[in-house]
Structure 1
Amino acid sequence: MLNRRHIRIKVMQSMYAFKGTESDDLSKDEKFLMHSLDSMYELYLSTLALLTELSKKSKDHNEKLQKKLLSNDSDKNPNTKFQDNHLLNLISNNKMLQEHIAKRKLNFWDLDFEYVDILFKAILKSELYAEYTNDLDISFKKDKQFVIDVYTEIIAPNDKLYDYFEDKKLTWVDDLPVVNTAILKVIRKLKLTSPETLLLPELYKDEDDKDFAKDLFKKTLLNSSKFSEEIAVKTTNWDSERLASLDGVLLKMALCEFQKFPSIPYKVTINEYLDIAKEYSTPKSSLFINGVLDKIVKEYQANNLHSKTGRGLM
């Protein structure tokens, strides 16, 4: 689920929040980082819980229509395609998934039901819903495509849901794009015969990625003074305040990758931090960071320092 870009962003945030020194015990701060990374999985699970609640909402909605005192024929015989959606039922009936959600206490939609109502009403009013319920072709494929379309066009872009997640946990705002992509990827793979574990992907692609997060954080902090001195030599014409900002954190992390991660190409590191700077720092940050890192890489290569290993490495 996690990609290296998002790992770097989480490390950057933890670095920026760090208030200690190189000599401090970093275990507490490392624990904070790992908890921050794990919180993304909680967002993933709570979003699947939301899909389950929308399915329940559809059933409740139809039952209320049938019990209306002044009901018409359509109320007495409501369309049940949404509540019977095979893919949503697959998610709702996944015992392993529901156990994970319950264990972490992530089904908070009963308390915050208004957001379920907002999304449900938006779905009912949509052309997607009208086309889906009027289609006489009933199949798992059609059910899956409906959920994908609803998630892509109604749930993921909903501003009120975005604000809700931001209020619930601030870091979730940065996690949403990754989680949305992960959910759609999982849904597209789902089949009626899929194992329950398919809905519970690993947070990290492999142990190397988990180690990368820990090592990048610790090695950057432990070499912070050294990296600062090296950067200062290359930035004599720049405002010193910039080095105390997020740009300084990104530069230190990049130098850490240059020196402590020989398998990561210089070009990959530079491109990653330029993109992160464009998203999280000032308009001039990417220009500044690119200029500094370009100077440093040319110096390393001229002096045969910190060589990279592997094929096609810059």
Structure 2
Amino acid sequence: MINRRHIRVKVMQSVYAMLHSHNDDIIREEKFLKHSILKMYDLYVLNLQLLIEVQKLAAKKIALSKKKILATKEDLNPNNKFLNNKVINTLAESISMEGFVELNKLNYWEDNDEYVKIIYDELQKSDLYKKYLATEEDSFKIDKVFVLDFFKEIIAPNEKLGEYFEDKMISWVDDIPFVNTWVVRSLSKFKENKTFVLSSLYKDEDDENFVSKIFQKTILKHTEYEVDIENKTPNWETDRIADIDMILIKMAITEFINFPSIPTRVTINEYIEISKDYSTEKSSYFINGVLDKISKEFIKNKRIVKIGRGLL
């Protein structure tokens, strides 16, 4: 499922896009934001589905080899360890995943099967695959370790696959690392003799509402927040502050004021960490300093009111 950190990143990107396009249609932009989050779920399922498609291709290759006129002993008695992989077979038998694929018409691998072949070829050449086939032990644990390594070492870092995903949906460029982690976590949680059910996109209704509220409040109040920021940065012209830094600070102010259950320090730390990935080298120090000053003033003036102990 999507976490709060990635929700903040998606909102940051949407706020940036809206402010720079000078578009004032907040309803349309919010719909696009939610759509891009929903599409992350497609990317998650596509990665899981790719494991199944590679296994299907391997089964076809083995079946064709058996029909060769001059079939070898190996062709006639192939190593079916990959075809019998318990984790991938659990995915293939998942009604939850099959239903999602059909409902959302995720026929990417049928329409673009060359990417399945690319991954299959890379897998076949790998020492990982050869070692797995040579392993005599037949257990769920061995199968799971192999699938995790297969995804982490071959699928996730594949550049051609990454370029394909980016071409299909521009917002996936920033989603790929998060989704890869999501897939690894899902596979790690697999248990023997348990059916696989797709988890929900959001942890709960609060997280889903968090998307709309922080986006709307930041957009509607962003000019007002600029005054607060200017008062705490007397030696800086607002146009000298990096655009992403300004947006992150505004989003943090939105959280200070509108989310009483989120501790102030948690908010500050979250935006500091995001700035390390998306802004300048010194942004984290700047954002920390500004938000620290603003939070102290807001607490003093009672613009920040938190619920519960230790939330300030």
Question: Shorter chain as normaliser: what TM range?
Answer: over 0.9
Structure 2 residue 129 is the aligned partner of structure 1 residue 129? yes
Q: Give the C-alpha shift of residue 302 in structure 1.
A: 4.0
Counterpart contact for 1:46–1:107, Cα < 8 Å: no
Give the Cα–Cα distance (whole angstroms) in 2 for the partners of residues 153 and 304 of structure 1.
51
Structure 2 gap ranges (5+): none
Give the Cα–Cα distance (whole angstroms) in 2 for the partners of residues 311 and 118 of structure 1.
54
C-alpha spacing 1:264/1:242, structure 2 compared with 1 (3 Å): farther
Which residue of structure 1 aligns with residue 270 of structure 2?
Answer: 272
Matched ranges for 1:95-110 at <5 A: 95-110=95-110
Give the Cα–Cα distance (whole angstroms) in 1 for the partners of residues 273 and 152 of structure 2.
24
Give the Cα–Cα distance (whole angstroms) in 1 for the partners of residues 297 and 103 of structure 2.
52
Matched ranges for 1:126-165 at <5 A: 126-165=126-165
Q: Give the C-alpha shift of residue 158 in structure 1.
A: 1.8
Code of the aligned partner of 1:52: I
Deviations 1:250-295 (A, max 9, x none): 1110111111112111111111111111111122222221221122
Deviations 1:1-59 (A, max 9, x none): 1110000001111111115879x553222211111111110111111221111110110
Structure 1 gap ranges (5+): none
Code of the aligned partner of 1:206: D
Code of the aligned partner of 2:310: G
C-alpha spacing 1:242/1:263, structure 2 compared with 1 (3 Å): farther
Code of the aligned partner of 1:92: A
Which residue of structure 2 aligns with residue 263 of structure 1?
Answer: 261
Which residue of structure 2 aligns with residue 87 of structure 1?
Answer: 87
Q: Secondary structure at the match of 1:55?
A: helix
Q: Structure 2 length normalisation: TM-score?
A: 0.93
Please, which of 283, 286, 292 is the counterpart of residue 285 of structure 1? 283
Which residue of structure 1 aligns with residue 224 of structure 2?
Answer: 226
C-alpha spacing 1:279/1:242, structure 2 compared with 1 (3 Å): farther
Runs in 1 of length 4+ with deviation above 6 angstroms?
none
Give the Cα–Cα distance (whole angstroms) in 2 for the partners of residues 170 and 25 of structure 1.
21
Matched ranges for 1:1-314 at <5 A: 1-19=1-19, 26-196=26-196, 198=197, 200-243=198-241, 245-314=243-312
Q: Give the C-alpha shift of residue 239 in structure 1.
A: 4.2
Q: Secondary structure at the match of 1:18?
A: helix
Give the Cα–Cα distance (whole angstroms) in 2 for the partners of residues 304 and 16 of structure 1.
29
Give the Cα–Cα distance (whole angstroms) in 1 for the partners of residues 277 and 188 of structure 2.
29
> Could you tell which deviates more after superposition, 117-126 or 235-244?
235-244
Counterpart contact for 2:90–2:195, Cα < 8 Å: no
Q: Secondary structure at the match of 1:152?
A: helix
Code of the aligned partner of 1:73: K
> Could you tell which deviates more after superposition, 221-230 or 238-247?
238-247
Code of the aligned partner of 1:280: Y
Give the Cα–Cα distance (whole angstroms) in 1 for the partners of residues 164 and 215 of structure 2.
30
Q: Secondary structure at the match of 2:286?
A: helix
Code of the aligned partner of 2:171: T
Deviations 1:172-208 (A, max 9, x none): 1222222222222222222343244x2x100000001
Count residues with an aligned counterpart. 311
> Could you tell which deviates more after superposition, 266-275 or 169-178?
169-178
